[in-house]
Copies of this chain bind each other. A is one copy, B any other.
């Protein structure tokens, strides 16, 4: 179970991120107001802010403060929010419920949902490129990292593989590859952007950076295995979407491929990998250690 300090860290990161997002997103009163309303509705709907917390924990692990990763964290959430809006569309996963509330195309309409997602993506890159507390080369590295992680070789590519896989039987290797793109790439980017926000592009300790990359890869996969298990175990009221919805669509999942017990064992292995990759770090990486515990044991 995640300890008290991880819960507290997550809450701090969520508050920092929510406050910054709320202040920076265009006001609902600003024209086109329906679009801005949909953007705020989608972003400020109370997500767990796991990506921001990972970014901030990575910043701490390399000797920085959580606040140094705040704008990268916000940019990550904008990308994450846009991807959820588009994933929920009728032509994609066709979900009506997200985090216990109507999805954006249900609350507004499909056209507004498509446009809100598009505008949030552009905004993520604008915020990163405009953040003057980071030097120019760091900002450029982050724009490239986030663009690659969210594009056709990352998140969007993973979603395309996922859609093509519905109704097909994937091998474990194919399933992992899909998730490494679909959710893993952005989670890896979260860790890397957190590191970048403290050490920049210059004096990086390459060994340390590679260990954190491996940590990020393992936690990204663990996140998805836990998500799949929650879909089997959880109740709608807790996870905020209809339970068993993956099964209902014959989506390939880890429990479907390995059995529920197999998936639980795999999750434990991934947690061990996360912790091993942090073995070279001192107490400054305790938050990252706690985040791994949280990800594998979360109930929502």
Name the contact of A32 in the complex, choosing from B82, B86, B111, B164 (C-beta under 8 A).
Answer: B164
> Does A237 have its Cβ within 8 Å of any Cβ on chain B?
no
114-173 of chain A: CB within 8 A of chain B: 114-115, 117-119, 121-123, 125-126, 128-130, 136-137, 139-140, 143-144, 147-148, 150-153, 156-157, 159-161, 163-164
> Does A36 have its Cβ within 8 Å of any Cβ on chain B?
yes
> Does A74 have its Cβ within 8 Å of any Cβ on chain B?
no
Which chain B residues border A83 with CB–CB below 8 Å? 118
**What is the CA–CA distance of A39 and B160 in the complex, to the nearest angstrom?**
12
Which chain B residues border A126 with CB–CB below 8 Å? 143-144, 147-148, 151
**What is the CA–CA distance of A115 and B114 in the complex, to the nearest angstrom?**
11
Q: Is the CB of B122 within 8 A of A147?
A: yes
> Does A246 have its Cβ within 8 Å of any Cβ on chain B?
no
Identify whether the interface residues of A are mostly helix, strand, loop, or mixed: helix
Number of interface residues of A (CB under 8 A): 49
Please encode chain A, from 80 to 94, with 1 for each CB lying within 8 Å of some chain B CB and 0 for all others. Answer: 001100100101100
Shortest distance between the CB of A36 and any CB in chain B (Å) = 6
Q: Is the CB of B111 within 8 A of A152?
A: no
30 CB contacts below 8 A, A to B, read A26-B152, A26-B153, A31-B157, A32-B160, A35-B152, A35-B157, A36-B152, A39-B152, A82-B118, A91-B110, A91-B111, A114-B114, A115-B156, A115-B159, A115-B160, A115-B163, A118-B118, A122-B147, A122-B150, A123-B147, A123-B151, A125-B125, A126-B151, A129-B129, A129-B140, A129-B144, A129-B147, A130-B144, A136-B137, A139-B140
